[in-house]
Amino acid sequence: MTAIGVLPLWPVRNSNVAFPRVNLDGCVILTSIRVCTMSLGPKEFHKPVKVLRKLLKNFQERPLPEPVHRLRRYTRRLESMLQALMLDRRRNERRLLEAIARLRKRAGKVRDIDVLVGLVCILRASGENECRIQLLEHLGALRFRRARKLYNLVQIDGPVMQRRLKRCLRHIDQALAGCGKKNQGSNFERFGERELNDLRANFRST
């Protein structure tokens, strides 16, 4: 039996935990269950912020598919992390999330074209090579326009986002320090089911 209800902020090992249970005769017995934990240290919380700052700083006018994909992935991770730490209520993080939402929307449109191009390239249809070439040319022109809009948005919002991301690092450290004081030596901090699922999905190793 597996229970997932707590999230450690620093690495701990999976362990068996005994919980009391009352049987039909009224006797209290202990049931041992396996508690699955996921280790999230300060480095894991800092990583989305640092990766996004680097991506924004080095973003190209004609970006390759991988930077666009990483941009979308780490904006989702940062959003889930700020919500889990309840930092999305602060003014700096609230404005940052608004800018991130616009950025992820633009990046998503470019990513859609990249996926379509990949599918067209592996498409095998006899006698349809000319149509496939025309389709690739159309998708290439469409991607160029969407990538330019994404680049322009990065140029406009990028400097402000860099400053907000830098402040966000300090706020994350303050939130983690506050969790440690509340727990008084415990490695666990309770999160809601939605926040826990978001973090489990978004903090996988890349």
Q: What is the DSSP string of 77-88?
A: HHHHHHHHTT-T
- Report the predicted TM-score, pTM, of the whole model to 2 decimal places: 0.68
- 3-class SS of residue 33: strand
Please give the pLDDT value at position 176.
Answer: 85
Q: How many CA atoms lie within 13 A of 192 on its CB side?
A: 9
Q: What is the DSSP string of 144-194?
A: HHHHHHHHHHHHHHHHHHHHHHHHHHHHHHHHHHHHHHHHTT-SEE---HH
Residue type, 205: S
Read off the pLDDT of residues 67-112 as tens digits, 9 standing for 90 and up.
999 999 999 999 999 988 889 889 999 999 999 999 999 999 999 9
- Which residues of the chain carry a pLDDT beneath 50? 1-24, 26, 28-38, 184-192, 205-206
Please give the pLDDT value at position 49.
Answer: 94
Does an H or E element contain 72, and which?
helix 65-84
Can you give the residue ranges of every domain in the chain? 2-35, 42-202
CA angle 183, 184, 190 (to 5 degrees): 5
Contact present, 50 and 168 (Cβ < 8 Å) = no
Distance CA(176)–CA(31), nearest Å, equals 32
Please give the pLDDT value at position 131.
Answer: 85
Please give the pLDDT value at position 198.
Answer: 58
Question: Which residues touch 49 (CB under 8 Å, ≥6 apart)?
Answer: 78, 165, 168, 169, 172
State the distance between the two ends of the chain, measured CA to CA, in whole angstroms: 29
